[in-house]
């Protein structure tokens, strides 16, 4: 079953607005990561938040983590057309005898100029 699932699947906003994406997961984690992917390119790591952290900032990005609800959110403030991309959360999971990162299906964000 999917460890991390992003919500919504797609989001369309106007430039300057804030964008919020959510990620829910099922099992206990040590950390949760967010990545961005521009169309047809590789993923780019944005931010890592550890299980003992509640909030983390990086530039216009704000990530929160609620381990009691097993959920995280990524907020992009003052969005720009260049923020148009797919955003993925990834959680560490112990499966099949090894630890690994498990990625969700992603949220496709479109920022209209």
Partner 1 sequence: ETGVTQTPRHLVMGMTNKKSLKCEQHLGHNAMYWYKQSAKKPLELMFVYSLEERVENNSVPSRFSPECPNSSHLFLHLHTLQPEDSALYLCASSQDPVSEQYFGPGTRLTVT
Nearer to partner 1, 7 or 15 (CB): 7
CB-based contacts of 80: which residues, under 8 Å, 6+ apart?
15, 111
What phi, psi does 12 have (nearest 5°)? -125, 125
- How do beta strands 85-95 and 107-112 pair? antiparallel
Q: Confirm or reject binding of residue 57 to partner 1 (CB under 8 A).
A: no
Q: Is 59 in the site for partner 1 (CB under 8 A)?
A: no
The helix or strand, by DSSP H or E, that contains position 12, with its residue range, turns out to be strand 10-14
Q: What is the bridge-based pairing of β-strands 10-14 and 107-112?
A: parallel
Binding residue (CB under 8 A) for partner 1 from 11, 13, 48, 61 = 48
The count of residues interacting with partner 1 (CB under 8 A) is 25
CB of 15 to partner 1, least distance (A): 26
Asked if 32 touches partner 1 (CB under 8 A), the answer is: no
Binding mask 83-112 for partner 1 (x = CB under 8 A): -----x-x-x---x-xxxxxxxxx------
The yes or no reply on residue 44 touching partner 1 (CB under 8 A) is yes
Q: What is the DSSP letter of 35?
A: E
Q: How many CA atoms lie within 13 A of 94 on its CB side?
A: 5
Q: Interface with partner 1 by CB under 8 A: which residues?
A: 2, 30-31, 33, 35, 40-45, 48, 88, 90, 92, 96, 98-106
């Amino acid at each position: 079953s999917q460890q991390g699932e992003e919500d919504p699947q797609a989001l369309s906003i106007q430039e300057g607005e804030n964008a919020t994406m959510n990620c829910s997961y099922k099992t206990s984690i040590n950390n949760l990561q967010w990545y961005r992917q521009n169309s047809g390119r590789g993923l780019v790591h944005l931010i890592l938040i550890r299980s003992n952290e509640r909030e983390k900032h990086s530039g216009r990005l704000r990530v929160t983590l609620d381990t009691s609800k097993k959920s995280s959110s990524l907020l992009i403030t003052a969005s720009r057309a260049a923020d148009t991309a797919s955003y993925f959360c990834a959680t560490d999971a112990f499966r099949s005898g090894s630890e690994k990162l498990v990625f969700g299906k992603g949220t496709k964000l479109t920022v209209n100029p």
